[in-house]
Structure 1
Amino acid sequence: MASTARFDVIAIGNAIVDVIARAEDSLIEAEGLVKGSMRLIDAEEAERLYASMGPAVEMSGGSAANTLAGMAALGCKCAFIGQVADDQLGHVFTHDLRALNVAYDTPPLAEGAPTARCLILVTPDGQRTMNTFLGASHLLEQAMIDEARIADSDILYLEGYLWDPPLSRAAMRRAIDVARGAGRKVAFTLSDAFIIDRHGDDFRALIKEGLFDILFANEVEICALAGVEDFDVAVAQVSAEVPLLVVTRSEKGAIAVVEGQRTEVGAEPIDAVIDTTGAGDLFAAGFLAGQAEGRSIAECLTMGAVCACEIIAQMGPRAQIDLKARVAAKLG
């Protein structure tokens, strides 16, 4: 039976503008950064690091927003909830998302913290090291949650990064209650191992309560969540408690486990990795778009792999090619 919901997916996440620049490994080392990781920084550090970056490109980002941008490009109906400020970057973010036909109506903050930005250093091997100033994005309050839209969306997609601030954490907990009360599914992405280090107990409790229908992770994150080093042991442990577990494995492809049934796909071939920013976000976009279309798990994984491949072949997390045509060419 076809869904009667207005939206395929509504997501709650950080509303961030990405500032992306090429960087040598020497800069990563000089700054004492862990290549390929994400860290939170304050306004002063953001200004200092920005001054040390080379020529940069600014574009709207944020993990969940990137996923919706990919889904919209694939023809899905999407909505976003996230906090920006009433400033230049906030206007840029809002325009970019709406231009992609993503419904976005969260009122901007009139005063206080500025719109969030993520300073991304991309090394020659394509790895991205992210330095995030959360700004207004972590001030998302429960009052900003559009409960009617959540109830009118097949899937509520939550970004783990936004679990860190207390205000937005409370807003997301309310959103989960609304979605489940409306009989909708809840999808959650773990986002980063450092988030699991800080809030793993919360996530494990939510999983035990049966509040997540779909859980997205990568290899490092799933092992961190399970508290074990062996990947297969971690997958077996977590998948026993989640209806649908999806784990990306970079060049080794991705897996999904449903009721003990494990499905795997390989990574799509690529000539050169340009920038891994948004790879996991676009994988989720392809997978969830496949879910919205009622496709098999294998096809959903393939759609995710195609989208991830296309995004790492370019700079930035928003697709610059026709994703829908690319997926159609792959699946036939």
Structure 2
Amino acid sequence: MRFDVLGIGNAIVDVLARVDEEFLVRHDLVKGAMRLIDEAQAHDLYEALGPTVESSGGSAANTIAGAASFGLRTAFIGKVRNDQLGEVFAHDIRATGAHFATPAATRGPSTARCLVLITPDGERTMNTWLGASQNLGPEDIDEAQVKAAAITYLEGYLWDPPKAKDAFVKAAGIARAAQRKVALTLSDAFCV
């Protein structure tokens, strides 16, 4: 199978909730900011929320979903856990028409999530647990998929965790050797 674009990045599920300003104050959150949190913080904050809506996200995954909506043949490589949010992510990315075959982790951290708290004025405060997405490694890079893609689109955030950085470098090397294009998101400061 040939792909116009293969995205490689963090597989994250956005968990959206409407909150009032007082909620942010009670939980010592800076309105409009993004912060990285650990799994325990993600659990505790989620428990404090009212109704939520789940929607798959992540920088490269969102780009792949957008490209698929324009009719491009797309694929995505990203790490999830075999848990409820992992199933949500896999379902959502496949529902866009993108090919997604990265095996879910059976051990380790849960699927990444971003708790997006929306105040009445529409401002978003984001609390992100990177979870299983941090464990994307070179073993997850499907050489045949990279060679089959006209463009391999790499998320800059992958440069941070060492294992993900190795996956990033491996994918770029395969693409370059196959004379395919490599695109890089400017998501991390190192990219700019």
Using the size of structure 1 for normalisation, the TM-score is 0.54
1:68, distance to aligned residue in structure 2 (A): 1.1
The aligned residue for residue 50 of structure 1 is: 46
Determine whether 1:151 maps to 2:140. Answer: no
State the Cα distance separating 1:30 from its structure 2 match. Answer: 4.1
Corresponding residue for residue 7 of structure 1: 3
Structure-2 separation of matches of 1:35 and 1:8: 38
Unmatched 5+ stretches in structure 1: 204-224, 226-332
Q: How many residues align?
A: 192
Q: Give 1:73's aligned residue.
A: 69
- Which residue of the partner structure matches residue 55 of structure 2? 59
Alignment deviations for residues 171-223 of structure 1 (CA, whole Å, 9 cap, x no partner):
011111111222222222222xxx42xxx2xx3xxxxxxxxxxxxxxxxxxxx
**1:125 Cα deviation (Å)?**
3.0
Q: Is 2:153 the counterpart of 1:178?
A: no
RMSD over aligned Cα, in angstroms? 1.8
How far the C-alpha of 1:38 sits from its partner, in A, is 2.3
Task: Give the one of 73, 83, 97 matched to 1:87.
Answer: 83
Give me the whole-angstrom Cα distance separating, in 2, the residues matched to 1:8 and 1:177. 18
1:164 to 160, 165, 184: 160
2:82, 2:55 → 1: CA distance? 17
Distance (whole Å) between structure 2 residues aligned to residue 36 and residue 163 of structure 1: 25
Which 4+ runs in 1 deviate beyond 6 A? none
Q: Structure 2: 5+ residue runs without aligned partners?
A: none
Q: Normalising by structure 2, report the TM-score.
A: 0.91
Instruction: Give the Cα separation in 2 of the matches to 1:181 and 1:90.
Output: 32
Structure with more of its chain in helix, by fraction:
1
Partners of 1:41 and 1:65 lie apart in 2 by 21
Question: In 2, distance between residues paired with 1:166 and 1:131?
Answer: 22
Deviation for aligned residue 1:29: 4.1
Deviation track 1:215-270 (CA, whole Å, cap 9, x = no partner) reads xxxxxxxxxx4xxxxxxxxxxxxxxxxxxxxxxxxxxxxxxxxxxxxxxxxxxxxx
Aligned to 1:221: none
- Which has the higher mean CA deviation after the structures are superposed, 74-83 or 105-114? 105-114
